[in-house]
Amino acid sequence: MQRETPISDPAPAAGLSKAVTRWLELAYGSGLYEAFAVDGSRRIRFVNTALELACSRKREDILGRDIADIFPVYRRTSWAEHLDHALNGRHSFSGSCFLDPADTGNVTVSYAPLPGEMPGAIEGGLIVRHASYGRASPMEQLRETEDRFRAMANSSPVLLWMAGTDSLCTFFNQTWLTFTGRSMDEETGMGWAEGVHPEDLQSCVDTYMEAFNARKEFRMTYRLRRHDGEFRWILDTGVPRYSPRGEFLGYIGSCVDISERMEAETALHETLERLSRSNTELERFAYVASHDLQEPLLKVSSFSDLLSTDYGKTLDEEARSYLERIQQASKRMRTLIDDLLAYSRVRNTACVKEAVDMGDVVAEVLSDLDVRIQQLGATVHVAKGLPLIEGDAVQLRQLLQNLVSNALKFHRPGVKPVVHIGAVNSGTGATRAILIADNGIGIDARFFDQIFEPFKRLHSREYPEGSGIGLAICRRIVDNHDGRIEVKSELGVGTEFLVALPIGRPTESCESV
């Protein structure tokens, strides 16, 4: 049954004024009842959230459409006659009817004319639907969901916040409010920014707004003032929110206090800086000390050689033994100083990287070692297709020189050295591994982690030459090239060194020698 109330005068105009639209938003925008407004031509000009949810349609899909397009059964009900009569005669009415085929239960529809800006003018009509579903309406369900969310959010140990489509914050959970010691009214909008450290505020706002405008997730750190006045480091992660229909609703974010982690990272960084300075000073000292030792050592070596040449025949056997020990010690000291200087240069000299053909490098190294190879009767096999490496040619040559020299030096007594040099798959597309394998005495697996340390010598008695710094230089060179070096060895069988370096393309190399 419908009830009509006559209202006087002029016909409604098309469209709704800004003033009427503002009033509708304030009065019905977030209400529980489903509400919409039509102009004089029966086109829908206002829709509230409750009606959107009930229709499962976006607001932009509804606005501007004829009422019959949205409610197809409208023309087939007596309600259509009452609406036409009300729009023409300025009547209000209410009654029970179904506007949607999905409507069940008792649906009450009320209509009231919307006054225009001119006295007595009518712009259109407001229609309010209140359905008794026997269950919660979509809007009521939404409210219940929001209530549950707020209850869970307030019990969360994490700081939570929400923002609307205008980027302003609309909600903070109780954990946030307890942390800051401020009220919801103080924090909403941009009030939360008052607690951000002044040095972090601009970057914080910039990061948020950049992500907000792009509708993308963001993560940022900043200092937030706690209720006791102490600034704490916060990790803030925000993600955009969307409705089931894909409408952007704003952002939701969570914050975690990471002050302890930041303090630990700062302490670690400071420790690493001190260690780096200490290493630099130590290496500088080693370089200077080694350089300064050369002159007195040169005198010792020179005078011992003169003594041996001029007076060696006149010395007895014991004196000649002493003189030989002096000369051998001078030679070892010279080797140690040269290696120390080489190690310092590798550490402190910048890498000048270029395309280096490892086939050419191997050929140069074998040419330098040719006399030693002939003396030992050694065989060196070099595979074709050694790679092109982006690296420092001088350092790469020094790397291979040390590894091949060791392969020749540490051979088994009575067994001629055999050395294989080739390229193998390193396991990654960005690098290629150079393999240097020998049939020498091998290395005990217990010492694999020690052989790359400076001055670590495992065979000092049997092989007195060398300072134990060669493999340390190799490790340093490989580190300079962002590569890796690995060793595989078995006592009495031989050793393999695998050096993975950044790769360009394979190239032809020299043959076996």
Sketch out the chain's domains with CATH numbers. Answer: 3-139 (3.30.450.20), 156-257 (3.30.450.20), 267-348 (1.10.287.130), 354-506 (3.30.565.10)
Closest CA to 482 of 498, 468, 499: 499
CB 396 within 8 A of CB 504: no
Predicted confidence at residue 496, as pLDDT, reads: 93
Predicted confidence at residue 93, as pLDDT, reads: 61
Reported as a single tens digit per residue, the pLDDT across 145-190 is 566 666 667 767 788 899 999 999 999 999 999 999 999 999 999 9
Predicted confidence at residue 1, as pLDDT, reads: 38
* Distance set, CA 477 to CA 67, 280, 455 (Å): 79, 16, 17
Question: Please, is 395 exposed, middle or buried when counting C-beta atoms within 10 Å of its C-beta (0-12, 13-18, 19+)?
Answer: buried
Predicted confidence at residue 303, as pLDDT, reads: 83
Compute how many other C-beta atoms are within 10 angstroms of the C-beta atom of residue 91.
20
Rounded CA-CA distance 387/199 in Å is 50
**What single-letter amino acid sits at 208?**
Y
Question: What angle, rounded to 10 degrees, do the helices at 358-368 and 393-409 form?
Answer: 50
| DSSP label at residue 316 | -
Cα dihedral 460, 466, 472, 477, rounded to 10, equals: -160
Query: Both tokens of residue 329?
Result: 């010690």
- Write phi, then psi, for 169 (nearest 5 degrees): -75, 135
Strand partners, 130: 108
Question: What angle, rounded to 10 degrees, do the helices at 317-348 and 259-311 form?
Answer: 150
Predicted confidence at residue 150, as pLDDT, reads: 67
CB 129 within 8 A of CB 99: yes
Reported as a single tens digit per residue, the pLDDT across 399-431 is 999 999 999 998 899 899 999 999 887 666 677
**Residues of the chain falling short of pLDDT 50:** 1-13, 101, 104-105, 133-134, 460, 464, 505-513
Predicted confidence at residue 2, as pLDDT, reads: 42
- Write phi, then psi, for 63 (nearest 5 degrees): -60, 135
**What single-letter amino acid sits at 335?**
T
- Write phi, then psi, for 473 (nearest 5 degrees): -65, -40
Rounded CA-CA distance 305/511 in Å is 42
Rounded CA-CA distance 339/272 in Å is 27
Predicted confidence at residue 217, as pLDDT, reads: 93
Closest CA to 474 of 400, 386, 406: 400
Q: Kindly report the length of the chain.
A: 513
SS3 350: coil
Strands (E), 116-244: 122-132, 159-163, 169-172, 218-225, 231-242
